[in-house]
Amino acid sequence: MRNHDLTFLKHFSQMIAGLAVLTVVLIIFANWIYWQQPTDPNPAAEAATDARIAPLSGVYAGDTGAAAMAAAAEEARKAAASQVAYGGTLDGSEIYGQLCSTCHNTGAGGAPTLDRAHWDARVAQGIDTLIKHAEEGFQGDAGLMPARGGNPALSDEQVEATVRWMVDNLK
């Protein structure tokens, strides 16, 4: 009887010990799997790091830097200004064909077509007046000439080239 109890106790404690070892092995294994996974950075910790390494004040580039910035702004302004109508062409016939012809070929709204009968009196005012009227717009007896033919993107040089082309091409 006594021997049977001892045998049982021995086997039972061996089994408990074996299970305890298995538990530890599984815990280590689970931890190992966990650490294999990539972890997302903690946004709060990242923000704190950024705040710690931020410079105390902005960089002052000195007068040279300010001049460079002014030059860059000027460049940008020039680039924007060069975005003029019809690719900036100074070809009067091109601009006339794209814009002015809608009125001046048909006589729409009283626009003088390109024949001398319509233009002799106008040309007599002098080319400068014609250019000025085309740039600023002109209300005459015949009708309303809109400033720059209605396209404010046209430059002074483009309007002038077009008026000169019109006057040179009267029939």
Which residues make up the interface to ligand HEC (CB under 6 A)?
A: 99-100, 102-104, 108-112, 122, 125, 129-130, 133-134, 138, 140-146, 148-150, 154, 159, 162-163
- Measured from the CB of residue 117, what is the shortest distance to ligand HEC in angstroms? 13
Q: Which residue is nearest to ligand HEC (CB)?
A: 140
- Measured from the CB of residue 94, what is the shortest distance to ligand HEC in angstroms? 11
Q: Which is nearer to ligand HEC, 13 or 125 (CB)?
A: 125
Contact, 114 vs 171, CB < 8 A?
A: yes
- Measured from the CB of residue 74, what is the shortest distance to ligand HEC in angstroms? 29
- Measured from the CB of residue 160, what is the shortest distance to ligand HEC in angstroms? 9
Contact, 158 vs 95, CB < 8 A?
A: yes
- Measured from the CB of residue 83, what is the shortest distance to ligand HEC in angstroms? 18
Q: Which is nearer to ligand HEC, 93 or 138 (CB)?
A: 138
Q: Which is nearer to ligand HEC, 65 or 110 (CB)?
A: 110
Q: Which is nearer to ligand HEC, 93 or 102 (CB)?
A: 102
Q: Which is nearer to ligand HEC, 13 or 129 (CB)?
A: 129
Per-residue HEC secondary structure of the chain comes to: CHHHHHHHHHHHHHHHHHHHHHHHHHHHHHHHHHHHCCCCCCHHHHHHHHHHHCCCCCCCCHHHHHHHHHHHHHHHHHHHHCCCHHHHCCCHHHHHHHHHHHHHCCCHHHCCCCCHHHHHHHHCCCHHHHHHHHHHCEECCCCEECHHHHCCCCCHHHHHHHHHHHHHCCC
